[in-house]
Structure 1
């Protein structure tokens, strides 16, 4: 997916084993609008309301995306010159890593560097490094952009900002990433009129908004396009990092359309890569055998049970020999 701060994906033509993510393994990016334009609309609307715009964001990558687009909008005069605060020590550290490794930027951002511009720094930007600096933001008067972690509003400084601002009708909260079931972010997006923060019931009067245009994950079409560069199928492909439905859909497409051998690993499942095949870890095989053994002993034909038990004992002895 388009991501100005990162160069395009590396083409891979051959590998023994492949791990492929599947965040969007069952769907496409349908919203192709310009992220900068959509962000400008929210910033200008929040400015007109007269209160702060609070944007919970993941410390690495999403915060830097926002800085890049806010810098562009600020330079082009498409948003007011209101202050922007990064309120997350981890996000500040991650931003320093991005600035240190500018060779990884995409071509559009490389062009900015050639003109002497710093894509992640502009005069309106401020860093709240200490707890005291973070707390001081709660006393701000007038419009400002505050970007704290975490992206789902489940922990960290964001909860303090929400406690001090959700009840204010002039405030705006903008979510720019996935909100998992059961998180505070998901609760707010679903229209909750009250939320519990630090044991206190907070009435929600702020404007709650979301934008789903900042994802750096490839969609189903993009993942398949990247996989099409392989000259020979991987020996085995593991489909990971996705909801069950998304992972299953990607696995099915790779199997049916490409004929690749594919596994969707279960949570905490281990595989040993032998160089010839991927096999479950011996500890997991042993646990599975123990469970099946108990089920077998609970009922069934005695003669058949004894035959199976004999083979299982032979297998168990072999496993003891190999570790």
Structure 2
């Protein structure tokens, strides 16, 4: 078995790993590179392999930095099956259609502005490419070994990151490769905890927060309640950039669970994301994946996805109308790193107001508007114009969908024999810190993946 590292090898997005085993070539994830405009241009680059020679693609979960280039892979010649956990398969269509729609719209706007004689801009892929892609997807359940190619079997285990997120166990050539995908922290609302893995010959593990510890979840929830009180008392609105899958649904869960304690009914809550609204439907169809606490909240509290003061805004007109509200609105809108989407329109109307409270509930990559705001920027450029940032900002680390350094160490530490480890999906500062801790604690041989690196298993 041989592993080639192509993406998320020294950065947090663009997950892309290739495995040669049993005479086959299997790809693990095919994610989009996200961040600065310069970084995102790399999505147009040729793959480091011939897509037509791949035999299968295995998906860990449906976040766009893990699936965002799958239609491009198909467009460039991939003709094999795509395997994903059943809920991930449902989410993929929603996520990829949204991505294609954005790409088509951006190409259309760019072509309207292009000078005479300049070449026509083309989208990375289209909605037709997504439909062609989805015809190749084969859903698999958790905890069931399945032969996907002759001599190659795969098993998905719960990763606790988002609905359907999976740790991938790949068996071939008498070896077992474990790919963590993205791991969630224990106690994440709605989801079950990451499954323990008993053995492996090589582990590829994410390291997004390999150099830090999250705030205590209970303390985080208290902080979120205090922010809502402060925003109400200040006479402002609450803006929450959030990913359409996972974080948006978790926030609604907390609003339901603490409906009385936080006096949530005084606010108008807007889930301003057509994609997030569709994702809610997927959650409703996969209640079998919920943990016991979530089932109890659904039974005893207001339904988190149908709160009496919740409005799911579909049209652009409905979204724009939110900005007429001066006080008492909670707006959950994409994108999670504030580098695109409807949240930018709300920023344009609200960032300049000191009574506005902006709550960051997830990782903010280098080069994004979210990262600049977290770091205290007084001005940010939105849609080509400089916007003053006077709003109050809060980083709620305890709501991260990624586990922290302790969680990563604990999950890896339960694998028998502490096999060789490769750290992916993390910036170098985080990976180096995690590698040092694991190496010292377990005596493990830890490698940091780099693009073009190959390892024999």
TM-score for both structures, normalised by structure 1: 0.76
Number of the residue aligned with 2:421: 237
How far apart in 2 are the matches of 1:28 and 1:192?
A: 24
For 1:210 and 1:252, how far apart are their aligned partners in 2?
Answer: 27
What does residue 73 of structure 1 align with?
A: 258
Distance in 1 of aligned mates of 2:254 and 2:401: 14
1:7-38 alpha-carbon deviations (Å, 9 max, x no partner): 11111111233221112223323545433321
Residue equivalent to 1:250: 434
Please tell me whether the aligned partners of residues 208 and 425 of structure 2 are also in contact (alpha carbons under 8 angstroms): yes
CA contact (8 A) 2:351 2:388 kept: yes
- Residue 356 of structure 2 is aligned with which of 162, 171, 182? 171
Higher strand share: 2
Given candidates 35, 55, 68, the residue that maps to 2:240 is 55
Q: Tell me the residue number matched to 1:9.
A: 194
- C-alpha change, 1:251 and 1:76, in structure 2 (3 Å) is same
The corresponding residue for 2:452 is 269
Q: Conserved in 2, the CA contact under 8 Å of 1:44 and 1:79?
A: no
Distance 1:154 1:176, change over 3 A: same
SS of the aligned residue for 2:449 comes to coil
Q: Deviation of residue 181 (structure 1)?
A: 3.0
CA RMSD of aligned residues (A): 2.3
Listed as ranges, the matches of 1:30-179 within 5 Å are 30-31=215-216, 33-76=218-261, 78-115=263-300, 118-179=303-364
Aligned in 2, Cα 1:116/1:26: closer, same or farther, shift over 3 Å? closer
Change (3 A) 1:253 1:187: closer
Q: 1:41 to 1:264 in 2, by over 3 A?
A: same
d(CA) in 2 for partners of 1:167 and 1:253? 42
Deviations 1:68-101 (A, max 9, x none): 1112222445444211001112222222222222
In structure 2, C-alpha distance between the alignment counterparts of 1:59 and 1:247, rounded to whole Å: 27
Max Rg structure: 1
Contact 2:257/2:297 (8 A) holds in 1: no
Find out whether 1:260 has 2:444 as its counterpart.
yes
Deviations 1:91-134 (A, max 9, x none): 22222222222222222112223447533331111111121211
CA–CA separation in structure 2 for the residues paired with 1:169 and 1:34: 25
Write the distance in 1 (CA, Å) between the matches of 2:193 and 2:241.
26
CA contact (8 A) 2:234 2:355 kept: yes
Alignment gaps of 5+ in structure 2: 1-184
- Give me the whole-angstrom Cα distance separating, in 1, the residues matched to 2:410 and 2:392: 39
Separation of aligned partners in 2, 1:144 and 1:221: 36
TM-score normalised per structure 2: 0.55
Equivalent pairs, count: 272
For residues 210 and 319 of structure 2, the distance between their equivalents in structure 1, rounded to whole angstroms, comes to 38
Which ranges of structure 1 fall in alignment gaps of 5 or more residues?
279-323
Instruction: Name the one with the larger helix percent.
Output: 1
Aligned pair 1:23/2:208, yes or no? yes
- CA distance in 1 between partners of 2:288 and 2:219 (Å): 25
Q: Is the 8 A contact 1:175 1:211 kept in 2?
A: yes
Question: After the TM superposition, which of the residue ranges 143-152 and 75-84 deviates more from structure 2?
Answer: 75-84
Determine if contact 1:44/1:80 at 8 Å carries over to the other structure.
Answer: no
Q: Kindly report which structure 2 residues correspond to 1:162-311, keeping only aligned pairs within 5 A, or say none.
A: 162-234=347-419, 236-266=420-450, 268-269=451-452, 271=454, 277-278=456-457
CA distance 1:271–1:103, shift in 2 (3 Å): farther
Q: Report how far residue 224 of structure 1 moved.
A: 1.9
**CA deviation profile, 1:39-73 (whole Å, cap 9, x unmatched):** 11111111122222111112211111211111222
Q: Which residue of 1 aligns with 2:48?
A: none
- Are residues 127 and 257 of structure 1, via their aligned partners in 2, closer, same or farther at CA, if it must alter by over 3 Å? same
Match of 2:111 in 1: none
Would the alpha carbon gap of residues 222 and 131 (structure 1) be closer, same or farther in structure 2, given more than 3 Å must change? same
